[in-house]
Amino acid sequence: MALEIREASVIYPAQSGRAPVEALSKIDLTVEEHDFVVALGASGCGKSTLLNLIAGFLSPSSGKIMLDEAEVSGPGADRSVVFQKHALLPWLNVRENVAFGLKLRGEGATAYAVADRFIALLGLKGFEKSPVYALSGGMQQRVGIARALTCDPKILLMDEPLGALDALTRERAQELILDIWKSTGKTVFLITHSVEEALFMGTRLIVMSPRPGRIAHRFDLPFSRRFLNGTPARQVKASPEFIELREEVLRIIFADEEQAA
Ligand SMILES: Nc1ncnc2c1ncn2[C@@H]1O[C@H](COP(=O)(O)OP(=O)(O)OP(=O)(O)O)[C@@H](O)[C@H]1O
């Protein structure tokens, strides 16, 4: 078992005359090692709050987050976060950005060797000395993922990591992340607003509903394994089984959005 969330609730306190917000209500979720869990749901259903709980940026109002039997009480090197805005350091080049986390941990001697391994894995070889501001959005996001991986986290947490990319780059990045997931054996928790991305990438999907934020539906997914076993991505995404599930999940989310309107 990698991660266990037990009856976790988050209530944000009342602000400027508004009532408190029950952002998450009694979330139960077990994430096994090497799972690729994707969270999907209408805006405001608590996806980022859940990721922040796992990252340790936020403590639950009640309930527990356990990682390998130990209670999560704050951020730690066993979890790395990749955000949509990759939060790179613009004055440093690719290699320095990727090595940054390890150097911060005092692992200066090995930092560059490890960084170079992940630079190659993410297809950034040859760009080590490029300033990150000169790279495309897709390449910057790959630098962000390489940096997260260098610290060898048990769990990679990704909050809408591909949201800012154009459609073609986004599809390529999905495939790259799946290849890396397979080769590194990491456990992944990813938030996305794209139903197609969620179905394609995850081994497990949680569909969340708002007010209060909760897990309303859970699905086991076969599609990423089909891609990793050699079926072309577009063929996976165009299969009748994929399309049927995509429409089912869209119906669930649209119903939540309509209720909120
Ligand atoms: N710091 C905060 N203080 C008060 N309320 C908050 C805070 N952060 C989030 N919320 C509220 O908690 C609920 C869940 O927010 P959260 O950002 O986790 O949802 P989300 O599913 O990630 O949304 P989106 O898809 O729009 O990013 C929302 O109603 C939001 O307005």
How far is ligand 1, taken at its centre, from the CA of residue 40, in Å? 14
pLDDT confidence bin for 86, thresholds 50/70/90:
low
Nearest CA to ligand 1 atom 24: 43
Asked whether 224 and 203 are in contact (CB, 8 A), the reply is: yes
Q: What's the pLDDT score for residue 139?
A: 87
Ligand 1 geometric centre to CA of 86 (Å):
20
Q: Please tell me the distance between residue 45's alpha carbon and the centre of ligand 1 in angstroms.
A: 7
Number of domains in the chain: 2
Test site for ligand 1: of 18, 24, 48, most ligand atoms within 8 A of the Cβ: 48
* 120-167: pLDDT as tens digits: 888 889 999 999 988 888 888 889 888 888 888 899 999 988 887 788
Q: Is residue 83 part of a domain?
A: no
Same domain? For 136 and 180 the reply is: no
**Are residue 163 and residue 246 in the same domain, yes or no?**
yes
Same domain? For 111 and 163 the reply is: no
**125 dihedral zone (left: phi>0; alpha: psi -120 to 50; beta):** beta
Q: What average pLDDT does the structure give for the chain? A: 90
Among 111, 126, 152, residue at a domain's last position? 152
Provide the token pair at 169: 């780059």
Q: Do 174 and 233 belong together in one domain?
A: yes
Query: Which residue minimizes the CA distance to atom 26 of ligand 1?
Result: 43
Based on the fold, state whether residues 167 and 220 are members of the same structural domain. yes
Which numbered atom of ligand 1 lies nearest the CA of 45? 21
Residues 124 and 183 in one domain: no
Describe the strand order of the beta sheet including 62-67 as a list of residue ranges. Answer: 21-31, 3-12, 62-67, 70-71
CA 42 – CA 246 distance, rounded (Å): 15
Residue 130 domain-assigned (yes or no): yes
Hey, whose CA ends up nearest to atom 17 of ligand 1? 48
Which of 63-67, 84-88, 134-138, 162-166 is the least confident region? Answer: 84-88
Give percent above pLDDT 70 in the chain: 98
**Residues 121 and 246 placed together within one structural domain of the fold:** no
d(CA 213, ligand 1 centre) in Å:
9
Residues with CB under 6 A from ligand 1: 12, 15, 21, 23, 41, 43-49, 213
What is the model's pTM? Answer: 0.91
Quote the ipTM score.
Answer: 0.97
Q: Do 47 and 160 share a structural domain?
A: yes
Report which protein residue has its CA nearest ligand 1's atom 12.
23
Regarding whether 194 and 107 lie in a shared domain, the answer is no
What pLDDT score does 192 carry?
Answer: 94
Do 191 and 229 sit in the same domain of this protein?
yes
Range of the domain at 191: 3-78+154-260
Decide if pLDDT at 1 tops 60: no
Q: Are 98 and 147 in contact (CB under 8 A)?
A: yes
Give the end of a domain, one of 114, 133, 152: 152
Last residue of a domain, one of 133, 152, 171: 152
Closest CA to 195 of 143, 146, 245: 245
Strands (E) in the chain, as ranges, are 3-12, 21-31, 36-41, 62-67, 70-71, 79-83, 155-159, 187-191, 204-209, 214-220
Report whether 100 contacts 149 (CB < 8 A). no
Q: Indicate whether 85 pLDDT > 90.
A: no
Ligand 1 pocket mutation, candidates 18, 24, 43, 191, criterion most atoms within 8 A of CB: 43
Same domain? For 74 and 96 the reply is no
Using 50, 70 and 90 to split pLDDT, how confident is the model at 104? confident
Q: What's 191's domain CATH number?
A: 3.40.50.300
Q: Residue 19 — very low, low, confident or very high, per pLDDT cuts 50/70/90?
A: confident
Interval between CA 47 and ligand 1 midpoint (Å): 8
Whether 206 is in a domain gets the answer yes
